[in-house]
Structure 1
């Protein structure tokens, strides 16, 4: 009985502490629209596009970077004059340096860049890991990891002056390796880099904050049937004849259906959960270091990452 009472007391204390934390984290900084600019990468589609428009509606000055002219035109046609657009290829250092110069000319002073959101990302879905090629890993790492590193290090001097926010978009697949083709590897690496930046800032007393967004699966272009089919078929088609004997075309079609069915079950249509987490990381007085977003992230992927490998491996196979 004594053990039960102690357990109940501990549970109540934990609940109270959690409620206090929620209450503290609810408040935003003052004047989020005054002389504060937010730079977002990867705004052609998906989370970056939606975040730019969401912040625009709240009166925030946004610098939305896009890879394509089409993406840039879409942002300009669907947002107000508070949203400025730039073309940016995060895999090219020269493009990042040019964007840095443009940003410095846009913001009223060097302490006005309040936030940098490293959102640009790609996913290569080769089907089986044996269907991957070195190029898949290099291409994915170039965008998801090295691009975010280059943008961070380039714009960090401005964040040091503003004491603002660095927000890196990783994935629940950066906590447990569940996606092939270099995606999980790139997100693991970005998680580590973000932790290093967050801890390192304290050594010299810098005030900027670092947050990681870890979405589960959401209904975006990357999780669509067309994207999955194109990626898996492309990976299978480049196999040698000997490899196709080991993995016949039937296996390729089964792989597509398995991935599509998984996304139909897991992927949430409410992408505002992700953009709301990004917004909170940018403007909350006490932002979190990590935001696990989506029911599958909270109830499936994050718990799996703490389980013994034999159990996690079995469940992932299932």
Structure 2
């Protein structure tokens, strides 16, 4: 009996220590430089506004002049906007040089690499950054309501790809495939969609201000209860669950 009591107390002690460690913050953050990409809308836009209010010196990159102008109108004079297309290496180099000239010896405290598009994912060598003394935190959100997940925009992008497909490929998929697939994806998004963006911003804040930031942040109930556990399951289970939502190909019915 004593063993179980000690084991329980040990687990509680470790949990309490972890909670206390997780709440430890860096002091004197006011005036530190952070760079946030993709600030036109969504996560980046909200993060720029919140971190500006908290006293950070924010560099907010936007893809459009309209986005930059609208953000500047609702933030302090301390926040600076800059136009950046992360897909253009020349644009990236130009902005990197500008940031370096701005921060000088103070250096850049943090980078929120938020800008991007929905598409295929690939491995990254982010662990290599540790050799340079840079802490890297990966925020893995579920499906949140942003410009990237707007059903109309997603459908428009898929339609462009569909129209470029050769006739024989379209025939294999079936003329109704595109519409049926879009309908299924929209139905799934309505079930999983998180409308409150603040949990993602809270993770960004923790990563920027904590003495012991997490290596990974899984955000959103859909990510915590489905996507993240699914990623750790055997491939046969992943296939079984994911393929249940797939539209059947016309070529399959012809056999």
TM-score (norm 1): 0.71
| Pick aligned residue for 2:129 from 178, 197, 200 | 197
Given that 1:224 and 1:260 are in contact with CA atoms closer than 8 Å, whether structure 2 keeps it comes out as: no
Matched, 1:80 2:76: yes
Where structure 1 has 5 or more consecutive residues not aligned to the other structure, the ranges are: 125-181
Label 1:111 to 1:229 Cα distance change in 2 as closer, same or farther (>3 A): same
Instruction: Verify the 8 A CA contact 2:100 2:107 in the aligned structure 1.
Output: no
Looking at structure 2, the residues matched to 268 and 31 of structure 1 have their Cα atoms a distance apart, in angstroms, of: 33
Matches within 5 A, 1:146-295: 182=120, 184-185=121-122, 189-190=123-124, 193-198=125-130, 200-201=131-132, 206=133, 208-295=134-221
- Aligned partner of 2:113 in structure 1 is 118
Per the alignment, do residues 19 and 258 of structure 1 end up closer, same or farther by CA in structure 2, a change over 3 Å counting?
Answer: farther
After superposition, the Cα gap between the structure-2 partners of 1:313 and 1:60, relative to the gap in structure 1 and judged at 3 Å, is same
Partner in structure 2 of residue 168 of structure 1: none
Which whole-Å CA distance do the structure 1 matches of 2:8 and 2:186 have between them? Answer: 40
Task: Render the CA deviation track for 1:191-239: whole Å, top value 9, x for unaligned.
Answer: xx212323x34xxxx3x32211111111111112112211222222222
- Per the alignment, do residues 76 and 11 of structure 1 end up closer, same or farther by CA in structure 2, a change over 3 Å counting? same
Count the aligned residue pairs: 243
SS for the counterpart of 2:59 is strand
Runs of at least 4 residues off by over 6 Å: none
- Answer yes or no: is the 8 Å Cα contact 2:48–2:60 preserved in 1: yes
C-alpha distance in structure 1 between counterparts of 2:206 and 2:235, whole Å: 33
1:71 CA drift (Å): 1.4
Aligned position for 2:54: 58
User: In structure 2, what is the equivalent of residue 158 of structure 1?
Assistant: none
Q: Does 1:24 find its partner at 2:45?
A: no
Give, in whole Å, the separation in 1 of the partners of 2:205 and 2:64.
Answer: 24
SS at match of 1:32: coil
Deviation at 1:79, TM superposition (A): 1.0
Tell me what 1:301 maps to.
227
Residue 117 to residue 306, structure 1, CA distance change in 2 (3 Å): same
Q: Quote the Cα distance in structure 1 between the aligned partners of 2:223 and 2:8.
A: 23
State the structure with more CA Rg: 2
Higher relative contact order (CA 8 A, sep 6+): 2
Contact 2:36 2:111 (8 Å CA) reproduced:
yes
Q: Secondary structure at the match of 2:109?
A: strand
Q: Which residue matches 2:251?
A: none
Corresponding residue of 2:237:
311
Q: What is the Cα-based RMSD across aligned positions, in Å?
A: 2.1
For 1:231 and 1:281, locate their aligned partners in 2 and report how far apart those are by CA, in whole Å. Answer: 33
